[in-house]
Structure 1
């Protein structure tokens, strides 16, 4: 019996040692996990702080981008307006230069079709550009300054007048956030005068030129 008791006592002591050893390992592991948890919480707090800084920076950059975009659109519009003003000035200057009076005797051909003038082809002066054309290239009439007066126009000036009339019916909305265009309906009616269908006589030509 004493031998069995000794074995039991020895076995119990070994069990206690193993339990103590496992308990120590468990405590060490628990401390290690606690340290890891604290480190993880610290890193997560730092990452959250970095994320907030990045979001604030992105928001600031977005505002800067929108401001730069607005300024760019404004600059492009101002540049377009400047080019348009320069173009209109050049067109006006060219018109003024082209309106210089030319004597009929110095013109031998029609300004447009370049047909030689002669007994069968008379000269006619456009009342807008003051250049000399034949009957076929200047057979357009526009309302004069008085209700009963009409002015002869060449094909060039007539087409330009129609273009300006069409463009005047376009309305551009000058809204930076809305680049759409609205177009009003254009209704053009053309009246063919009977005297345009036949060549005028010498007396009619002289009276129309006056």
Structure 2
């Protein structure tokens, strides 16, 4: 289609359900250039990447690219139903009074919760904490990847505390093994650890612990993950 027919390009700085795949910086820069050239809005979907999860307040900050609009939800209100849009003033002010609305818009309790969340992120330095957690997760997963007594894993990735890895058929390969990933999740649940899978092949396991987690609880979770990777071997 012609560029004049495109209102906006929407992208996640790190894919969520798609497999926790960070968008290459070169791609985001190229999209910004295309949008500027043709008058198209660039929208960053920060529903999963927002509010310190990636080691920046927003995932798009890792690229240095400035979007026109940012969508936010999930972590915004610490579990209360609230979503929002952040954008350039000329865009946000373009709507007539009452022209913006939504199912979860304007809840006083959720808005108060969101303000408290922002205070906790600042007071407890959760942006910095996300990077500490992420380093611990990645280094531990790398040691798991070298073990011959566990389900083979590969492609450990993700910025900050938005970390994932792939369960594969053979150590050193990239061949997905969704069935083994399912066994890992089941074994983890049996020991009290909840894991989520994602990715187009269903073999990616993502780690999304709270940024307020203690070191002791993080270590306990990693120990349970280790046990799950061992018990899921055939």
Sort the TM-score into its range (normalised by shorter chain). under 0.3
Higher RCO (Cα < 8 Å, 6 or more apart): 2
Query: Based on CA coordinates, which of the two structures has the bigger radius of gyration?
Result: 1
TM-score (norm 2): 0.21
| Higher normalized helix content (fraction of residues) | 1
